[in-house]
């Protein structure tokens, strides 16, 4: 049987433990419905093996299957090309009375094959924005997603996009942050706005949003050979380089496309592995000068500067680590 199967009746063979309360709860009916349709039974004395007439509890828009003896839910799911979970969702009474012979089950209709690709909703998505991005229309998306509510999209929701699968990213995926523009991204990653648009069919260059993931068509930045540092208020690339005993040039090499004049709070940058110190590290304290430190360790200022490329002798700060070379 298939199609609308509403308010039809079926006969259920009672099993040990069945009661009027169990049946009314399982099939969401009243005691009066049971007694009216079974005048010959005593609802207070139901016995195993007794057959009772009950209304089918749900409106089924798929196929109605009458369970046979020996059936299992797994076998039924395989037979109708669906899942056990899908059958349980359509037939909530199974939780209470279980699977048994004679029970009508609503088998959900198979999901249509997506004539395109599956897209996962992200923060800020709208159907009109998605349609523009993938060169389709809202109506076309709704036709292949018949149960989709266009006014209620949620992050993580998977919908069918009736368009060709976008090409694989010939580079790496970048997540948009506040202040990004296609022009600034192109400059940062040594590419062009046109190349980014070609790698992201349907991308609106005037509508980027924080958290959006786009393809940057350049080789993936090299892995960080040191550690990642999160930029804090007041940081400059020069100050960060001095703090970690490296150079601005080394940081720029480890972060292709990084703008040394535009770093922002919360940005993560790669700090290349700390230099090997041919001696010991000294942690700057209040009152230190390079001359005093050199005198303390009996080395020259020039030797310290040679061991610490990029070190500004006139700008030491408390907590800074500098390499003191061993005298030879």
Domains of the chain, start order: 9-107 (3.10.350.10), 117-161 (3.10.350.10), 172-216 (3.10.350.10), 222-270 (3.10.350.10), 275-328 (3.10.350.10)
Of 129, 134, 197, 139, residue with least CA distance to 161: 134
Top pLDDT among 258 and 270 is at 270
Query: Quick check: 247 pLDDT over 70?
Result: yes
Of 212, 214, 166, 167, residue with least CA distance to 186: 214
Q: Tokens 């949620």 — which residue?
A: 154
Q: How far is 150 from 138, CA to CA, in rounded Å?
A: 9
Q: How far is 325 from 7, CA to CA, in rounded Å?
A: 90
- For residue 176, give both structure tokens: 């948009």
The chain-wide mean pLDDT, for the chain, equals 81
Q: Which residues contact 246 (CB under 8 A, 6 or more apart)?
A: 271, 272, 274, 275, 309, 310
111: confidence class by pLDDT, cuts 50, 70, 90: low
Three-class SS of the chain: CECCCCCCEEEEECCCCCCHHHHHHHHCCCHHHHHHHCCCCCCCCCCCCCEEEEECCCCCCCEEEECCCCCCHHHHHHHCCCCHHHHHHHCCCHHHHCCCCCCEEEECCCCCCCCCEEEECCCCCCHHHHHHHCCCCHHHHHHHCCCCCCCCCCCCCEEEECCCCCCCCCCEEEECCCCCCHHHHHHHCCCCHHHHHHHCCCCCCCCCCCCCEEEECCCCCCCCCCEEEECCCCCCHHHHHHHCCCCHHHHHHHCCCCCCCCCCCCCEEEECCCCCCCEEEEECCCCCCHHHHHHHHCCCHHHHHHHCCCCCCCCCCCCCEEEEECCC
Least confident of 179-193, 260-274, 288-302: 260-274
The overall longest dimension of the chain from CA atoms, in Å, is 110
- For residue 132, give both structure tokens: 């523009």
State pLDDT tens for residues 38-95: 999 888 888 898 999 888 765 677 788 889 989 999 899 888 878 888 888 888 889 8
Q: How far is 10 from 33, CA to CA, in rounded Å?
A: 13
166: confidence class by pLDDT, cuts 50, 70, 90: low
Query: Quick check: 151 pLDDT over 60?
Result: yes
User: How many other CB atoms are found less than 10 A from the CB of residue 100?
Assistant: 15
């Amino acid at each position: 049987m298939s199609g609308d199967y509403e308010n039809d009746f079926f006969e259920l063979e009672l099993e040990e433990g069945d009661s009027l309360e169990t049946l009314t709860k399982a099939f969401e009916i009243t005691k009066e419905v049971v007694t009216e349709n079974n005048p010959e039974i005593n609802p207070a004395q139901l016995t195993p093996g007794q057959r009772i007439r009950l209304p089918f509890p749900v409106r089924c828009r798929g196929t109605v299957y009458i369970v046979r003896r020996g059936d299992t839910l797994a076998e039924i799911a395989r037979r109708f090309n669906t899942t056990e979970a899908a059958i349980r969702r359509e037939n909530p009474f199974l939780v209470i009375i279980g699977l048994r012979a004679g029970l009508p089950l609503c088998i959900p209709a198979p999901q249509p094959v997506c004539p395109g690709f599956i897209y996962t909703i992200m923060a800020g998505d709208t159907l009109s924005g998605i349609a523009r991005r993938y060169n389709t229309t809202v109506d076309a998306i709704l036709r292949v997603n018949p149960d989709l509510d266009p006014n209620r999209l949620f992050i993580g929701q998977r919908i069918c996009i009736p368009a060709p699968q976008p090409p694989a990213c010939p580079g790496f995926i970048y997540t948009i942050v506040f202040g990004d523009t296609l022009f600034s991204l192109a400059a940062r990653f040594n590419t062009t706005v046109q190349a980014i648009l070609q790698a992201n069919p349907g991308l609106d260059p005037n509508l980027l949003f924080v958290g959006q993931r786009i393809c940057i068509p350049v080789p993936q930045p090299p892995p960080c050979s040191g550690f990642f540092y999160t930029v804090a208020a007041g940081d400059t690339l020069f100050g960060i380089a001095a703090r970690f005993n490296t150079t601005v040039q080394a940081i720029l090499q480890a972060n292709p496309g990084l703008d040394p004049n535009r770093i922002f709070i919360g940005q993560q940058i790669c700090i290349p592995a700390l230099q090997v110190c041919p001696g010991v590290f000294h942690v700057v304290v209040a009152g230190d000068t390079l001359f005093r430190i050199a005198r303390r360790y009996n080395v020259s200022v020039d030797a310290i500067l040679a061991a610490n490329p990029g070190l500004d002798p006139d700008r030491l700060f408390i907590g800074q680590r500098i390499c003191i070379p061993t005298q030879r």
